[in-house]
Amino acid sequence: MVDALRAYTLTAGMWIRASLTYRASFAMALLGSFIGSGLDFVAIMIMYSHIDALGGYAVAEVALLYGATSLSLGITELLVGNVSRVGANVRNGTVDTLLVRPVPVFLQLAADRFALRRLGRITQGALVMGWALVALGPVRAGWSPLDWLLLVVMVLAGAGIYGALYALGGAFQFWAQDAAEVQNAFTYGGNTLLQYPPTVFAGELVRGVTLVIPLAFVNWVPAATLLGRDAPLDLPGFAAWLSPLVAAAACCVAALVWRAAVNSYRSTGS
Amino acid sequence: MTAAAHARPRPAATVYPAVAAGAFRRYATYRVATAAGVLTNTVFGFVLAYVYLALWDQRPQLGGYGPEQAVTFVWVGQAMIGAVALLGGGFQEELQERIRSGDIAIDLHRPVDLQLWWLAHDCGRAAFQLLGRGVGPMAGGALAFDLHLPTDPLVWLLFLLSVWGAVVVSFAIRYLLGLASFWLLDSSGLLMLGTFLGVFASGMLLPLTVFPGLLGDVVRALPWAAMLQVPADILLERRTGTGVLTGLLFQACWAVALLAAGRALQLLATRRVVVQGG
């Protein structure tokens, strides 16, 4: 385990050094990640230039949701995002090389072409989160240390849930190599969903992303407690603290599916 | 050398349609990728449709649309992402790679026009993606939501004409960005900037009629408005009568101007090409 993580940091470090060789290119890519992931927030600000509340949520509350899911997705994308490109490796048979190395395939894929530019999304999410915390002054004044802990747990557990989705999406590509976009539907699509309050969406959709794909635990459920609102599906108050358990369970399922997927790998012909 | 000199070029009337048909078949090969794209577009369509419904519930008639028209706008956008290459994709990376590797020298020796070749290629690609990636999300949206879809077949015909206009404007912009590779060693940053502008100023982010004040006036006059806002307004019948004509004219003007700019840049660029011997 320690060896595997060491291999991951070494590979990631190599790619970081490589990307920093061309400073101007790196700066531009970083800025690109920052702007690209921030466009959604521009849309939200334009919406709020016409209204005071969307689904009953004020702009600062939506900013908290937005910041939380951006941070979670940003962390996951940085650490394991490149697993989403495994389909190309399966298609051209280069998973062979990964299998003979004494490091788990998942970590090798995650570290391959480690993209430090993805700090752009994290920075953007952190700025929006910071702004939300300032704008939420009166609400925040009532927070106990436990609430601040919940804020941190929310972001980290959210990253875990996104991580499970990346692994499941990657596993699916062992069977359907060209289906890289399927996981975009759940990761980036989920991220877009979670930028808006649950009150905006139809009941069945909310039930689906709470009970089937547990996206709601990324931010909706914990943030409801922080904002003093009703949780989706009227979940009880302690549900806010369930997100680490949900993330752990999701990661276990993803690990099993990933293992089955790697075992089904048959290399290529010729 | 002699073989090339003796080969009789196919007449232009058949060569460009053949290129377009080839591109259509090429993109049609990736069925799983197409299905995956349809799923993703449909998921985003659902999310955005509910957000728009909440927004228009607060402000009915925002941007000149009723709630049904607003939701339809979402699905038109999702259906056109692939065809108009609103989120990137298309031919420009390939063109850049050919410029970087020097293969462009071979392309320039072919008895065809470089710009028209790629335009034909892009039209073939767009035709497939409109069918393969457009019909699915649109049908999904129509099943789940009340959409504002015209009953007059003429409106649909004008819409399709306008979608083609959108593809040509989108092509012309991407061709300009792709040619930048003659000067920049790595123009991926420029392509990225182009994609952001495309998302922001085409109506993908929000309908351009919702943008406030001066910002709204500016984005509605830029060429990116021709890539989604104009075709969507024709389908939603926000543009009718002469409005349709001015919309199509807006697209045509930008298409001509940008294609001409592409042609001028191509002339400048090809003067720079140096073929290494050996």
Per-residue model confidence as pLDDT tens digits over B86-110: 988 888 889 988 988 888 988 888 8
Q: What is the interface pTM, i.e. ipTM, of the complex?
A: 0.93
Give the B window 19-38 contacts with A, CB below 8 Å: 30, 32-33, 35-37
For the cut 90, the answer to whether the pLDDT of residue B13 exceeds it is no
Instruction: Mutation target for A interface from B41, B48, B50, B51: give the one with most A CBs within 10 A.
Output: B51
**d(CA A59, nearest CA chain B) in Å:** 13
* pLDDT tens-place string over residues A142-155: 899 999 999 999 99
Distance from CA of A182 to the nearest CA of B (A): 5
Shortest CB distance from B32 goes to which of A32, A178, A202?
A178
Instruction: Give percent of chain B above pLDDT 70.
Output: 95
**Contact B192/A186, CB-based, under 8 Å?**
no
- Is B260 an 8 Å CB contact of chain A? no
Summarised one tens digit per residue, pLDDT across range B74-85 is 999 999 999 999
The partner residues of A75 in beta bridges, in order of sequence, read none
Q: Is A58 left (phi over 0), alpha (psi -120 to 50) or beta?
A: beta
Residue B8 is predicted with a pLDDT of 66
Structural domain count of chain B: 1
Q: Do A179 and B58 touch (CB under 8 A)?
A: no
Across the interface, do A50 and B55 touch by the CB < 8 Å criterion?
yes
Residue B105 inside a domain? The answer is yes
Give B267: exposed, middle or buried? Use CB within 10 Å, 0-12, 13-18, 19+.
exposed
- According to the model, what pLDDT value does residue B6 have? 56
pLDDT class for B183, splitting at 50, 70, 90? confident
Distance CA B32, CA B34 (A): 5
**pLDDT confidence of residue A269:** 66
- Answer whether residue B157 is part of any domain: yes
DSSP B204: S
Contacts of A55 in chain B (CB under 8 A): 54
A180 vs B189: CB contact, 8 Å cut-off? no
Cβ <8 Å between B200 and A179:
no
d(CA B73, CA B80): 11
Q: What is the pLDDT of residues B151-177, one digit of tens each?
A: 999 999 999 999 999 999 999 999 999
B 191-250 residues with CB below 8 A of A? 192-193, 195-196, 199-200, 205-206, 210-212
Of the candidates A46, A179, A196, the beta carbon closest to that of B51 is on: A196
Instruction: Divide the 270 residues of chain A into consecutive groups of 10 and give the mean pLDDT of each group.
Output: 91 94 87 91 95 95 97 96 91 90 93 92 96 92 93 97 96 89 92 96 94 95 94 92 97 97 83
Return the pLDDT at B193. 83
- Residue B276: inside a domain: no
Give the amino acid at B98.
Answer: R
Q: Do B36 and A181 touch (CB under 8 A)?
A: yes
Residues of A in contact with B62 (CB under 8 A): 50
Can you give the residue range of the structural domain that contains B178? 11-270
For residue A57, the cross-strand partners are A54
> Is B183 at the interface with chain A, CB within 8 A?
no
Distance from CA of B115 to the nearest CA of A (A): 28
Q: Is B52 on the interface with A (CB under 8 A)?
A: no
Please check whether residue B73 lies inside any domain of the structure.
Answer: yes
Supply the pLDDT for residue A71.
Answer: 97
Split at pLDDT 50, 70, 90, the class of B271 is confident
Q: What pLDDT score was predicted for residue B185?
A: 73
Nearest CA in chain B to A28: B189
Residue of B nearest to A50 (CA): B59
pLDDT of res. B2:
47
For chain A, say whether B18 makes contact (Cβ under 8 Å). Answer: no
- Distances A186 to A161, A191, B108 between C-alpha atoms, Å: 11, 8, 43
How confident is the model at residue A270, as a pLDDT? 53
Alpha-carbon distance B235 to nearest alpha carbon in chain A (angstroms): 23
- What tens digit of pLDDT does each residue of B116-127 get? 999 999 999 999
In A53-144, where does DSSP find H-type helix?
59-80, 86-92, 95-100, 105-111, 119-135, 137-141
Between CA B192 and CA B190 the distance in angstroms is 5
Q: Which of chain A's residues have a Cβ under 8 Å away from the Cβ of B54?
A: 54-55, 196, 199-200
Instruction: Name the β-bridge partners of B169.
Output: none
Burial class (CB within 10 angstroms; exposed 0-12, middle 13-18, buried 19+) of A256: exposed
| pLDDT of B278 over the 60 cut | no
